[in-house]
Amino acid sequence: MPASALMNVMISAARKAGRGLARDFGEVENLQVSKKGPANFVTAADMRAEKILFEELSRAREGYCFLMEERGRVEGPDRTHTWIVDPLDGTTNFMHGIPLFAISIALEREGQLVAGLIYNPVTGDTYTAERGKGAFLNDRRIRVAARARLRESVITTGIPHHGKQGHERYLAELEAVMPQVAGIRRTGSAATDLAWIASGRFDGYWERGISAWDMAAGIVLVREAGGFVSDADGGQEMLTTGSIVAGNEAIQRDLVKLVSRRPTRP
C-alpha cells in the first residue's frame, strides 16, 4: 500500500537522521576499543540525530508540539498534535557496536496515538503503522504471532540496570514468568522489542521504567498488527506509568496476570 503523506514525512525524516547514525555507528565500532571509550561520541551522535528529526518534522508539519528524549517537551502553536521522538533507542547497544537500535517516531493527535515508525539505520528495516490502516515492515503487511499458550512463546523483556530502580520487583516478575514460557530474550531496545512483537518474531513483551518516546511508536505498530497493549496493571496509562505489556490477545492477557502488582521477593 502506498505510504500516506504523513508517513512519507516520517520516513523521510528518519532516513535522513539514520544516515548520520549509520555512519557514526561505523565509527563507534572503532572507538569502543579506545581508552577513552565512545560515550561522548555517542552523546553527540544522539544529539545530531535529534536535531535533524526536529528540523525535518518541524518543516513538514509547522507548529506541532514535540516530546523528545533530549529536548524534552517543546510546545508549538498547534497543541492538538505532538511528535513523540526517540532519535536513538538502544544507546548502550550502539555504544558497544551492537546493531540493535532504532529511531522511533510517533504522532499523537488530540491525545490519541495515530501513527508510528521504527527504523533501524543499519539493517534498513522500516516498521510503519497508521491508525486503522494496518502495520507494515518494508511495505509488507505484518501481524502479531498466533501462538496462544505461554509455554510455546518466546517473551522479550527489559532488565533494570545500574542506576535504575525496581530490581527486586523485576526479579519477582522474572521468577513468575520463567517457568511458564519457552524462552526469554532481551534486545536492549524497547522500540525493537515492540516492532518484533508486531511482526511476530516475539510473542510477548513486558517492561517497566521506560519513557513515552521508547514505546509510543511501538504501541501503534502492535495495535495495527492485531495485538494488544496495556500497562503492567492492565490499564491504558502506558505513557504515564512507564510500564508496558504487549502481545496477541491471549499472551498479553496472561502476561499481565503474571506481572501485575507482583510483590518484591523477600
CB 67 within 8 A of CB 156: no
The amino acid sitting at 27 is E
Q: Is 88 annotated as a binding residue?
A: yes
Report d(CA 163, CA 257) in Å as an integer: 28
Q: Is 86 annotated as a binding residue?
A: yes
The amino acid sitting at 190 is A
User: In sequence order, what DSSP letters do the residues of 50-96 get, joined into one string?
Assistant: HHHHHHHHHHHSTTEEEEETTTEEE--SEEEEEEEEEEEE-HHHHHT
89-92 long-range contacts, CB within 8 A, separation 24+? 89/189, 89/190, 89/191, 89/192, 89/213, 89/214, 90/187, 90/188, 90/189, 90/191, 90/192, 91/42, 91/46, 92/188
Report d(CA 199, CA 135) in Å as an integer: 9
Q: Is 89 annotated as a binding residue?
A: yes
Report helix, strand or coil for 206: strand
Give the max Cα distance, the chain.
54
From the list 47, 58, 45, the residue with the least C-alpha distance to 9 is 58
Q: Is 231 annotated as a binding residue?
A: no
From the list 235, 258, 261, 231, the residue with the least C-alpha distance to 246 is 231
Q: Is 108 annotated as a binding residue?
A: no
Q: To which residue does cell 534498513 refer?
A: 124
Provide the annotated binding site. 69, 86, 88-89, 214
Binding-site residues for Mg(2+), in ranges, read 69, 86, 88-89, 214
